[in-house]
């Protein structure tokens, strides 16, 4: 049977009344039982204390007959039973037993209330009495007679009275509950009709709005929570079309985000069919169009399927990743991550082109290896020569001079390497301070040319300067000196004797370039793309012999980038090399 709103209200009222009455009955029953029992225990304890006082105030020695008489005197109330028990458990007197029956009573040494009274000074308990064949409530207190007699005064009461009181209480609560239920039945219909009037009006209006977008608005004639709900339902009709527009915009926005991701994204259902594929996947895998609805093994290249293990059955339910190579115009290294969908069957595949990252990893490993090699060589020479001197060569003036000269050269080389490494580290960590100012280029070029003039003259190399005297630039003077010094120093070192170097400026593609051109043997094409890497050398043996650190061009590149400029190298026909750096004009 399905209840309407009013029926549910009536049923709820009755159910609440029943639960409340039942809860009150249970609580009051236990509460009253505890209260009655505590009152009875207190009353019995007062009687026991009276008995103890009567025993302890007797001056003469007490016989068993005296104690039995005393027990009958204390237990004159027919609802009470008083028992005097010796410390060894023997019953000395009982208000409801005498003579042979008294002497025939069993030893009470193991009664819990007796043991508790001797141990703690007070004991109580509830258990079945074999003597009276009834459940009793017991209270016991110890006594100590001046003549040396010790024992326990125990007072008991039949629990039938407590159970009777509980029955009367339960009957009273049931009667009160029936009256409350009858009252609830009488009032619940009226209350339910009055309380659901606004709700029934609200439900009818909401039903009309759900069935038709042209339904009239719900009239609001109150100022309560239901009136607020009616207002929100009225807004629902007005905002329905706006919500649809927002959902459409969000869908477009989500699609835009997915299509703008640099990583390729593929979503698969439980059958491994493609449900989503963004633009980056198409570009990465050279696919003509999104293969929605097709199986992933049929659409992805075999290298991707094999590399990611997409042909396994079943696919793991934990995220996993793998790298593989993809053929194409250029071979690319791709990292794929496969993740199960959350609370759905299927997987998501994310593809990322890590070709450049792996190339940088290779450069990093080469750098570590080169640093180790470059530092090991001069350190080994210094260590070996120092050991030779300590072993006795110090006394040979001519030979020791040779060893010390070698140590000085390698120490200088080691110092240059460390200095260049520190400069490079500062540049990469953005800790190299630069301040660009308008300045003239020619004085800086002439200053640097003079620094290399001695070595150039020794090799009979002609250095020409073709820079205008009024060429203004915007640069950091010290950084520009270091750039030009490295370029000229390399040119003087590596070109043959009697060669020529030209330092010139020219405009190239709208930018001013400072160029260092030589007519030496040039640099083979395979080496040109890596010239500005740290420790990279075209001829490593010849470079070390000439004292180079392999860091000069790397420093040149970082200094130029720090100033916002670029550097590069080009071949010169018929032979030679051209190293250039762009320069900025001062702001107008």
* DSSP-derived secondary structure for 347-386: EEEEEEE-HHHHHHHHHHHHHHHHHHHHHHHHHHHHHHHH
Strand 500-508 relative to strand 462-466, pairing: parallel
CATH label of the domain that carries residue 268 = 3.30.450.20
Last residue within a domain, chosen from 117, 137, 165: 165
Q: Is 472 inside any structural domain?
A: yes
Domain match, 500 and 411 both: no
Last residue within a domain, chosen from 367, 397, 428: 428
Tens of pLDDT, residue by residue over 552-573, are: 788 788 888 888 889 998 888 8
Report whether pLDDT(83) > 70: yes
Report whether pLDDT(101) > 60: yes
Domain match, 456 and 572 both: yes
- Identify the pLDDT of residue 107: 86
The rounded distance, in Å, linking the Cα atoms of 224 and 220 is 10
151-160, 176-185, 544-553 — most confident range: 151-160
Domain match, 396 and 511 both: no
Asked whether the beta carbons of 416 and 549 are under 8 A apart, the reply is yes
* Residue whose token pair is 């010094």: 485
Report whether pLDDT(169) > 50: yes
Residues pairing with 326 in the sheet: 332
Helix (H) or strand (E) holding 246: helix 225-260
- Identify the pLDDT of residue 557: 86
Domain match, 569 and 449 both: yes
- Identify the pLDDT of residue 546: 47
The rounded distance, in Å, linking the Cα atoms of 72 and 80 is 10
The rounded distance, in Å, linking the Cα atoms of 551 and 558 is 11
Q: How many domains would you assign to the chain? A: 4
Domain around 382:
358-428
Q: Is the pTM for the entire model greater than 0.75?
A: no
Residue 340's CB is within 10 A of a number of other CB atoms, namely: 17
Phi then psi dihedrals of residue 502, to 5 deg: -125, 130
Phi then psi dihedrals of residue 83, to 5 deg: -130, 130
Radius of gyration of the chain (CA): 53
- Identify the pLDDT of residue 547: 46
Tens of pLDDT, residue by residue over 186-243, are: 776 666 666 666 666 666 666 666 666 555 666 656 555 556 666 666 667 667 657 7
Report whether pLDDT(541) > 60: no
User: How large is the average pLDDT for residues 522-533?
Assistant: 78
Largest CA distance in the chain: 148
User: How large is the average pLDDT for residues 533-539?
Assistant: 65
The rounded distance, in Å, linking the Cα atoms of 164 and 125 is 20
The rounded distance, in Å, linking the Cα atoms of 429 and 416 is 20
Domain match, 406 and 454 both: no
Asked whether the beta carbons of 426 and 466 are under 8 A apart, the reply is no
């Amino acid at each position: 049977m399905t209840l309407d709103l009013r029926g549910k209200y009536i049923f709820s009222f009755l159910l609440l009344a029943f639960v409340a009455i039942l809860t009150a009955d249970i609580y009051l029953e236990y509460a009253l039982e505890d209260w009655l029992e505590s009152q009875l225990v207190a009353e019995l304890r007062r009687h026991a204390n009276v008995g103890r006082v009567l025993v302890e105030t007797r001056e003469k020695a007490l016989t068993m007959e005296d104690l039995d008489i005393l027990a009958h005197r204390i237990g004159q109330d027919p609802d009470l039973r008083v028992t005097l028990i010796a410390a060894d458990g023997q019953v000395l007197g009982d208000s409801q037993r005498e003579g042979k029956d008294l002497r025939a009573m069993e030893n009470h040494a193991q009664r819990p209330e007796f043991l508790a009274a001797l141990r703690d000074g007070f004991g109580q308990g509830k258990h079945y009495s074999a003597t009276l064949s009834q459940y009793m409530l017991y209270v016991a207190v110890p006594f100590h007679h001046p003549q040396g007699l010790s024992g326990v005064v125990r007072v008991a009461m039949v629990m039938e009275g407590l159970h009777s009181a509980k029955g009367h209480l339960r009957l009273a609560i049931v009667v009160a509950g029936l009256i409350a239920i009858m009252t609830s039945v009488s009032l619940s219909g009226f209350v339910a009709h009055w309380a659901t009037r606004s709700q029934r009006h609200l439900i009818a209006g909401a039903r009309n709005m759900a069935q038709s977008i042209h339904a009239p608005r719900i009239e609001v004639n109150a100022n309560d929570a239901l009136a607020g709900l009616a207002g929100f339902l009225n807004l629902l009709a007005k905002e329905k079309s706006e919500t649809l527009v927002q959902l459409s915009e969000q869908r477009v926005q989500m699609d835009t985000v997915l299509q703008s991701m640099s990583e390729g994204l593929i979503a698969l259902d439980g059958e491994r069919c493609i449900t989503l594929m963004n633009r980056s996947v198409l570009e990465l895998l050279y696919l003509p169009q999104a293969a929605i609805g097709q199986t992933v093994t049929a659409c992805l290249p075999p290298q991707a399927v094999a590399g990611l293990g997409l042909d396994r059955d079943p696919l793991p339910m934990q995220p996993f990743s793998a790298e593989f190579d993809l053929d194409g115009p250029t071979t690319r290294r791709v990292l794929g991550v496969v993740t199960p969908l959350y609370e759905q069957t299927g997987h998501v595949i994310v593809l990322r082109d890590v070709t450049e990252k792996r190339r940088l990893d290779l450069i990093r490993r080469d750098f570590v290896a080169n640093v180790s090699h470059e530092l090991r060589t001069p350190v080994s020479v210094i260590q070996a020569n120092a050991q030779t001197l300590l072993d006795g060569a110090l006394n040979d003036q001519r030979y020791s001079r040779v060893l010390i000269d070698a140590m000085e050269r390698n120490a200088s080389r080691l110092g240059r390497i460390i200095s260049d490494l520190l400069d490079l580290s500062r540049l990469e960590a953005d800790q190299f301070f630069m301040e660009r100012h308008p300045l003239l280029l020619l004085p800086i070029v002439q200053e640097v040319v003079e620094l290399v003039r001695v070595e150039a003259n020794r090799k009979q190399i002609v250095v020409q300067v073709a820079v205008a005297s009024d060429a203004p630039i915007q640069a950091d003077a010290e950084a520009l000196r270091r750039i030009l010094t490295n370029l000229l120093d390399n040119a003087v070192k590596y070109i043959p004797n009697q060669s020529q170097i030209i330092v010139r400026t020219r405009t190239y593609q709208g930018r001013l370039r400072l160029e260092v051109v030589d007519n030496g043997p040039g640099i083979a094409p395979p080496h040109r793309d890596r010239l500005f890497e740290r420790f990279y050398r075209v001829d490593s043996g010849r470079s070390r012999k000439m004292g180079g650190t392999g860091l000069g061009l790397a420093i040149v590149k970082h200094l130029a980038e720090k100033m916002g400029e670029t550097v590069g190298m080009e071949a010169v026909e018929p032979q030679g090399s051209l190293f250039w750096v762009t320069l900025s004009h001062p702001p107008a």
